[in-house]
Amino acid sequence: LVGKPGTTYKYLGLRMFSLPLGGENELAFQLLDKCNEKMKVRTRNLFKRQEHKEGCDYDILLINKCYSASTSSSEHGVKLKLEPTFKHDLSSISWHADSMLKPFSSIGVYNYVKDDDPESRSDWRIGLRVREHIEGPSKNQRGVRNAENESAPQRPIAPPVSVNVPNESIYYLLGSFNHHHEHCVLAGDASERYSSTHRVARPGHTFASIRDRLQNFIRKK
């Protein structure tokens, strides 16, 4: 996790504290900071309506490494499973909507595959499917009735799709997309995939806010 000093992100039950974005002594973090600023501008330019642009101020980057079909083995301690939705594809990251983010904010992803074979560098895919209110303020929760969902008219649900993501490409989950859809990563055959996922953190999950809550709790006890 890389971000503004003090930002945190909870991922699969683990709270991570960010490394500093744009650190003075780390060239890699300076380059990530420049990349992040470019991503902000590009995302804003994709919107025609002004009200969505405030959800493009990316302040955290989650950098992932995904094993490919050929590197999935006991040697690496990782065994990829078949994705039942697409039958014959291995899932490197299973279905999910990104959580712990500012509601209805956008997400930008830079995709990189290190391989000399051009065909191997473009065989990674992203799966997409509709899951209304899967994330955000009106998130579906087991055992919780959602009046918004119950009152909404039933609409036909589009079938899942998968999209190729060539090497060094960028894709975006704009506006409310993450609120109403899930996505997964379908493994390519040869080389590992790296991604830099640019996001807007949910307010109230900084080191300072967590420290204040702990201090208040200690005082009460």
DSSP per-residue letters across 155-186: -PPPPPEEEE--TT-EEEE-TTHHHHEEEEEE
Do 170 and 40 touch, CB atoms closer than 8 A? no
Do 180 and 132 touch, CB atoms closer than 8 A? yes
Determine whether 87 is exposed, middle or buried from the number of CB atoms within 10 Å of its CB (0-12, 13-18, 19+).
exposed
Going by pLDDT thresholds of 50, 70 and 90, the confidence category of residue 164 is very high
CA distance to 33, 88, 172, 204, 212, per residue, from 216 (Å): 34, 52, 39, 15, 6
| Residue of higher predicted confidence among 21 and 198 | 198
- Judged by average pLDDT, the poorest of 34-48, 130-144, 162-176, 181-195 is 130-144
Distance CA 145, CA 147 (A): 6
- Closest by CA to 199, choosing from 125, 94, 122, 104, is 104
Residue 211's φ and ψ, nearest 5 degrees, are: -60, -45
pLDDT tens-digit readout, 10-61: 887 888 999 988 877 788 889 999 999 999 999 999 887 656 666 899 999 9
pLDDT confidence of residue 199: 95
A 10 A CB-CB count for 135 gives: 22
Query: Which of 72-86, 94-108, 150-164 holds the top average pLDDT?
Result: 94-108
pLDDT confidence of residue 75: 62
Do 65 and 193 touch, CB atoms closer than 8 A? yes
| pTM of the entire predicted model | 0.84
The yes-or-no verdict on residue 142 having pLDDT over 50 is no
| Cα 91 to chain centroid, rounded | 16
pLDDT tens-digit readout, 81-136: 888 888 888 999 999 999 999 999 999 999 998 876 665 556 899 999 999 899 87
pLDDT confidence of residue 114: 80
Do 72 and 80 touch, CB atoms closer than 8 A? yes
